[in-house]
Copies of this chain bind each other. A is one copy, B any other.
Amino acid sequence: MISEKMKPLVNNNSAIRAMFEEGNKLRAKYGAENVYDFSLGNPNVPAPEEVKEAIIDLVTKEDPVVLHGYMSNAGFEDVRQAIAESLNRRFGTNFAAKNLIMTVGAASGLNVILKTILNPGEEVIVFAPYFLEYGSYVRNYDGKLVEVSPDTSTFQPNLEELEQKITANTRAVIVNTPHNPTGVVYSEETIKKLAAILEAKQKEFGSVIYLISDEPYRELAYDGVEVPYLTKYYDNTVVGYSYSKSLSLPGERIGYLVIPDEVDGSEEVIAAASIANRVSGSVNAPSLIQKVIARCVDCQVNLEYYDRNRTTLYEGLKNVGLECIKPQGAFYLFVKSPVPDEKEFVAAAKKYNILMVPGSSFACPGYVRLAYCVSYECIQNSLPAFAKLMEEFK
């Protein structure tokens, strides 16, 4: 009944669903507070109060025909202008409203830019570990996903392998920093090297290689670490952003693409991306929430909450003998499994009501991902359970 292309997706989804249902079973049996569910990257810190105030003020004062109405497919001009100014202020960029396209979250933004640039058979390179959904996005447009293997010593991208894997057929490279699932922030040094490789390869092949920066975690950075703004290092950079994490609005589906003037043929790319936004079915990003963003452009969620979770869980796991890079961003820990097959570790953890995602789900077996966007109590209470779990692996 369904298309050939959807069949593998449906089969694969059953596995995720099974995991989710197992969590529900555990919660039903032991009570939600006794299950340590680190499997979901769903923000648990509420949206800032300013979001609520903006919504009430907008629906009270603005003309509903405008507030809930159609606008340009790229989004309200004033909203794009406000975001451009905020970016310019914070990162020393030089964007105008026309460089931004409001999208239905970052997932839609990535789809829009891939639809805009990708021809069937062209290659998109990603660095393992990576969000497996990138593969679905690339295959939506009949592109080919090419994986670069992980550098598990630092989880910075493996640039030597990247260099080898770029071909005349490479259309884009996707990076994600701060990074899901490792929490690593790519250093300025890494970005500069990456940019130099892409420049050289563009020359070698006479091609355009887009650097797509998927950065929903940009604002979730700790210890004062700087997250370099990629458009400043490489001209053919397109940024995909989302407010899902920075404002805890994942369900609202609000984000944007930045297509700078420096992108080759930027005018055509911007025009095509606006149309791709429309014909893909989004038409435009949700209107009320667009206007909310313009008012909350410099707000953010309570980062200290995540930071305390990060430190407590990291230290706690280290104390029971687990190994992990201390993350500088996002809300994940990527922990080395004490046994080579991390699925065995994930299965054992369930006995102690601990839920984690195997690294295989990010093309990086031998590791597990813990999302620490949970209550602080959950983290505290989980530590004795981890201690017991690790007894099994001594």
Query: CB within 8 Å of B: which residues of A?
Result: 1-6, 9-10, 13, 42-47, 51-52, 55-56, 59-60, 63-65, 67-71, 103-105, 107-112, 115-119, 133, 136-137, 140-141, 208, 248-254, 263-265, 268-269, 271-272, 275-276, 278-289
Contacts and interface: CB of A to CB of B under 8 A. Distances in A.
Contact of A46 (B47, B56, B63, B118): B63
A121 B6 CA distance: 16
A133 B279 CA distance: 7
A28 B71 CA distance: 19
Contacts of A51: 64, 68
Contacts of A108: 280-283
Nearest to A20: B72
B283 A68 contact: no
Nearest to A7: B272
B42 A104 contact: no
A111 to B, nearest CB: 4
Contact of A282 (B45, B276, B281): B281
Contact of A1 (B71, B111, B117, B252): B117
B44 A250 contact: no
B111 A2 contact: no
B140 A280 contact: yes
A21 to B, nearest CB: 12
Sorted nearest first, the 5 A-B pairs with minimum C-beta distance are A251-B287, A108-B281, A111-B281, A1-B265, A136-B279
Contact of A251 (B68, B103, B264, B268): B68
Nearest to A71: B251
Contacts of A111: 280-281
B69 A115 contact: no
Nearest to A41: B70
Nearest to A55: B59
Nearest to A56: B56
From A112, A208, A279, residue with most partner B Cβ within 10 Å: A279
Given A69-B42, A117-B1, A253 B283 contact: yes
